[in-house]
């Protein structure tokens, strides 16, 4: 029989002793130690793995290294991307550690399996997907289209895209911004006090400054929406079809709603259809402004450390995936060969 541990979500666990059960209950109670997205991923992986274990008569918790190897191989044969498979392995390890168990991932058997999966994927032509970049030129083009729009939805969307590009914040971080997070520099430009991000969780928070133009667009939206006297209201709120902003203080716009802003902008801009990767990223998405801003900064010669700071990236490898194609022709060997020809 399976025991279900719940705290707004379900975490299935096969027959286990009382100590492990207690540790897992404590783990669920402390779920706020993880970002909501990480917790959702964990629960999704646990459900998939649990169903696989039940179907094939394998052990779910604790999981043996042989079972984990077969599970990861099953994911590969099911067409999962190598990065997704690595995430499954990592989260299974997380569950075991928090249950006080030795993760099956420590076995050389599992290490070789993951290495094999990655190698096979690369040789077969798999590449890491990347959001279609939303560049500064795209922002300026939309600015020209929407600057005099009488529709509050388009005013909001334009202000949102300005803030998204200027701050390199993630969609979930943008959704949490409130009117009270705004202060003004001496020259009138807006300064945003971002309480926390995916990678920065500390009382000092993060400060983001907007350019003069982005400040103007956000100020225009605040005035049109009637947000100026609502310090607790979210900056980017719904807009009723009657062209009236719906001021909200309890719940921010959802990720799908904010993703829809990028999708609408893509259609308005009349962009051509890009080459997709893994049937994803057929247009601008929630990550597009971060990718585009990082690429623009790299193209202008800003150092990797500066771009990492702006985007709150902790690992250079993550950023390099976004800017790998920017100015690739300026590499050391190209420079050497060009000098030789000269």
The residue from 88, 135, 162, 170 that is catalytic is 170
Show the tokens assigned to 91: 């989260």
- In terms of Cα–Cα distance, which of 85, 67, 87 is closest to 14? 67
Query: CA-CA distance, 68 to 63, in Å (whole number)?
Result: 7
Q: Angle 255-269/136-146 helices, nearest 10 degrees?
A: 80
Residue 240 annotated as catalytic: no
Residue 329 annotated as catalytic: no
Which residue do the tokens 């300064």 mark?
191
The residue from 58, 156, 178, 290 that is catalytic is 290
For the chain, first and last CA: distance in Å? 75
The residue from 50, 165, 221, 322 that is catalytic is 322
Residue 322 annotated as catalytic: yes
The residue from 88, 135, 178, 287 that is catalytic is 287
The residue from 313, 321, 324, 341 that is catalytic is 313
Which residues on neighbouring strands pair with residue 12, listed in sequence order?
4
Residues marked as catalytic = 170, 287, 290, 313, 322
């Amino acid at each position: 029989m399976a025991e279900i541990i719940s705290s707004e979500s379900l975490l299935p666990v096969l027959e286990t002793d009382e100590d492990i059960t207690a540790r897992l209950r404590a783990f669920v109670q402390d779920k706020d130690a993880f970002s909501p997205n990480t917790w959702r991923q964990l629960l999704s992986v646990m459900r998939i793995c649990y169903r696989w274990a039940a179907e094939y008569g394998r052990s779910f918790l604790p999981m043996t290294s042989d079972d984990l190897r077969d599970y990861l191989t099953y994911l590969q044969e099911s067409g999962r991307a190598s990065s997704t498979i690595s995430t499954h392995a990592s989260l299974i390890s997380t569950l075991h550690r928090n249950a006080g168990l030795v993760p099956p991932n420590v076995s050389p058997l599992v290490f070789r399996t993951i290495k094999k999966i990655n190698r096979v994927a690369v040789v077969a032509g798999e590449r890491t997907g990347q959001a279609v970049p939303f560049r500064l030129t795209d922002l300026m083009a939309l600015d020209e289209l929407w600057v005099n729009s009488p529709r509050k939805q388009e005013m909001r969307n334009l202000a949102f895209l300005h803030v998204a590009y200027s701050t390199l914040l993630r969609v979930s971080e943008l959704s949490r911004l409130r009117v009270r997070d705004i202060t003004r520099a001496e020259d009138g430009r807006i300064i945003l006090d971002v309480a926390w991000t995916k990678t920065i969780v500390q009382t000092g928070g993060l400060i983001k400054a907007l350019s003069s133009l982005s400040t103007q667009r956000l100020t225009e939206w605040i005035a049109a929406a009637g947000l100026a006297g609502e310090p607790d209201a979210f900056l980017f709120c719904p807009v009723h079809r009657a062209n009236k902003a719906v001021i909200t203080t309890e719940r921010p716009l959802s990720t799908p709603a904010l993703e829809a802003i990028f999708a609408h902008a893509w259609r308005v801009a009349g962009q051509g259809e890009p080459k997709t990767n893994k049937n994803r990223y057929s247009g601008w998405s929630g990550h597009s402004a971060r990718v585009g801003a990082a690429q623009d900064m790299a193209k202008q010669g800003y150092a990797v450390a500066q771009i990492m700071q702006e985007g709150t990236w902790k690992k250079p490898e993550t950023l390099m995936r976004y800017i790998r194609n920017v100015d690739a022709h300026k590499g050391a060997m190209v420079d050497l060969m060009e000098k030789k020809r000269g």
